[in-house]
């Protein structure tokens, strides 16, 4: 059985590092090195303790929760009572009547085995794989930002009513007892929020440029389960555009995008991808066995062919993260025009498997490659490597003494992200009472010093 982590602590390994080396999976992010925190030694604790196969990690990735593996009524074969951090933060900080967090996946209908990483108290939320459908849901009722004379006149009347109501209530304030004043103040705050919604619902901000519906191509494969990997580049671009503009228009403030690699379809998918000019990172023979075979063939040795191939897969995923960061960096933050969306966005880039080490089970959950990216609103110290120490340990199993990755639970990072949002929300709105957590999910993690 695997090592039980818990004795490790974190140490900053330094800011003087390079992502540009042979077979680097993070090379595409090198231009954003100052906006990255790269972690070594974080584990999916629940999966590690249960010594599971590695295919069921979606349940714990964003929840940090205990899981019931091989659950009978679950798409993934895993159930949990946990809530993913996007849904938790939305419940804490959502603007009234704002849409739910955006959840998308590139051809998710190919991966019923893995399902979604998003949960609300154990209820799994499936990603939308059709960019056109996402556009309709999030942008279908959003105006172009140009009001007609009639709509502008209507808006002016409504805002006048709101202003009159607020002025009358202000005059009443001094005539009330303290307890009644507090109730009235809450009512006035609600009126201010409603007035703000009037403006935001009828026009977009200066930064908001809703994509034209015709530019967002549909991918309806989810309706019949067809496999059309040639649509992958287009789907990725469209989803990134929708995420960026939903932030710019302040429609929603949380989004998840999952890249799937189907277990059965992987060889065909790789071969198709290799022919796509937009996917130049792939160069695999037909007999390669694809992504799933590489996860069984990796050894943690840099010269191993399967590790090199896996690095190419991850390099492609990092390329997509870099493209999203490019889009966010090109758009002004509507709530802070002097900054970009990237300056104030937290990006959590994760994968389902950890670093593979010698073990009877090559799908390991230990030492998961995790990158925190974006400007993060200045809440985190970026541009550094952070490592759990000790990162390695030894364990006895049926094959004798093996070196295993040790580290600590990734709950530590989930907790710090949640607390950063809580703290920042309070800074923006002093009436918001932050709920600072000692841990998020079911496992404690050491505080990440230096982050």
**Residue 71: pLDDT over 80:** no
Q: Integer distance in angstroms from the first to the last C-alpha of the chain?
A: 32
Is 244 within a domain? yes
Residue 144, SS3?
coil
Q: What is the rounded average pLDDT of the residues 400-425? A: 85
Is 131 within a domain? yes
Q: What is the rounded average pLDDT of the residues 6-32? A: 79
Is 47 within a domain? yes
Is 448 within a domain? no
Tell me which residue of 206, 217, 269 sits closest to 241, measured CA to CA.
217
For the chain, the domain total comes to 1
Q: Which residues contact 150 (CB under 8 A, 6 or more apart)?
A: none
pLDDT at 297: 72
Token pair of 288, please? 């390669």
Is 443 within a domain? no
> For 52-64, how does the pLDDT look when each residue is reduced to its tens digit (9 = 90+)?
656 667 788 999 9
From 10-19, 307-316, 398-407, the region with the lowest mean pLDDT: 398-407
Is 109 within a domain? yes
pLDDT at 226: 66
Residue 229 in contact with residue 272, Cβ under 8 Å?
yes
Query: Does this model's pTM top 0.85?
Result: no
Residue 388 in contact with residue 8, Cβ under 8 Å?
yes
**Residue 96: pLDDT over 80:** no
Task: Tell me the residue range of the domain where 362 lies.
Answer: 9-141+230-428
Is 447 within a domain? no
pLDDT at 29: 96
What CATH number should be reported for the domain holding residue 99? 3.40.720
Is 196 within a domain? no
């Amino acid at each position: 059985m695997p090592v039980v982590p818990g004795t490790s602590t974190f140490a900053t390994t330094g800011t003087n590092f390079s992502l540009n080396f042979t077979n680097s999976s993070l090379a595409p992010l090198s231009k954003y090195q100052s906006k990255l925190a790269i972690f070594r030694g974080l584990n999916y604790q629940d999966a590690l303790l249960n010594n599971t196969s590695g295919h069921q990690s979606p349940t714990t990735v964003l929840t940090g929760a205990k899981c019931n593996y091989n659950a009978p009524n679950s798409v993934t074969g895993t159930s949990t009572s946990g809530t993913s951090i996007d849904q938790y933060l939305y419940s804490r900080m959502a603007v009234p009547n704002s849409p739910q967090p955006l959840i998308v996946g590139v051809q998710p209908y190919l991966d019923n085995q893995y399902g979604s990483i998003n949960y609300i108290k154990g209820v799994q939320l499936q990603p939308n794989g059709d960019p056109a459908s996402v556009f309709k849901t999030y942008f279908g009722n959003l105006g172009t930002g140009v009001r007609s004379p009639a709509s502008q006149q209507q808006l002016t009347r409504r805002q006048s009513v709101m202003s009159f109501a607020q002025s009358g209530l202000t005059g009443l304030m001094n005539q009330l007892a303290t307890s009644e004043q507090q109730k009235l103040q809450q009512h006035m705050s609600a009126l201010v929020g409603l007035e703000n919604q009037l403006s935001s619902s009828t026009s977009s901000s200066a930064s908001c440029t809703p994509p034209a519906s015709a530019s967002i191509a549909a991918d309806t494969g989810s309706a019949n389960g067809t496999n059309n990997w040639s649509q992958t580049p287009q789907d990725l671009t469209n989803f990134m555009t929708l995420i960026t503009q939903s932030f710019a228009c302040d429609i929603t403030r949380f989004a998840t995008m999952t890249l799937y690699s189907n277990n059965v379809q992987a060889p065909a998918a790789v071969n198709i991808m290799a022919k796509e000019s937009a996917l130049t990172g792939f160069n695999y023979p037909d007999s390669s066995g694809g992504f799933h075979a590489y996860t069984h063939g990796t050894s943690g040795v840099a010269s191993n062919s399967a590790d090199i191939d896996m690095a190419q897969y991850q390099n492609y995923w990092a390329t997509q993260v870099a493209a999203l960061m490019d889009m966010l960096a090109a758009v002004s933050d509507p709530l802070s025009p002097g900054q970009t969306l990237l300056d104030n966005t937290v990006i959590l880039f994760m994968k389902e498997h950890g670093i593979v080490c010698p073990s009877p089970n090559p799908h390991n959950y230990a030492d998961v490659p995790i990158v925190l990216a974006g400007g993060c609103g200045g809440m985190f110290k970026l541009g550094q490597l952070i490592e759990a120490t000790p990162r390695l340990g030894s364990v006895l199993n049926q094959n004798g003494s093996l070196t295993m990755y040790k580290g600590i639970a990734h709950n530590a990072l989930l907790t710090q992200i949640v607390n950063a949002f809580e703290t920042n929300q309070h800074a923006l709105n002093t009436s918001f009472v932050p709920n600072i957590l000692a841990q998020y999910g079911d496992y404690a993690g050491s505080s990440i010093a230096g982050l």
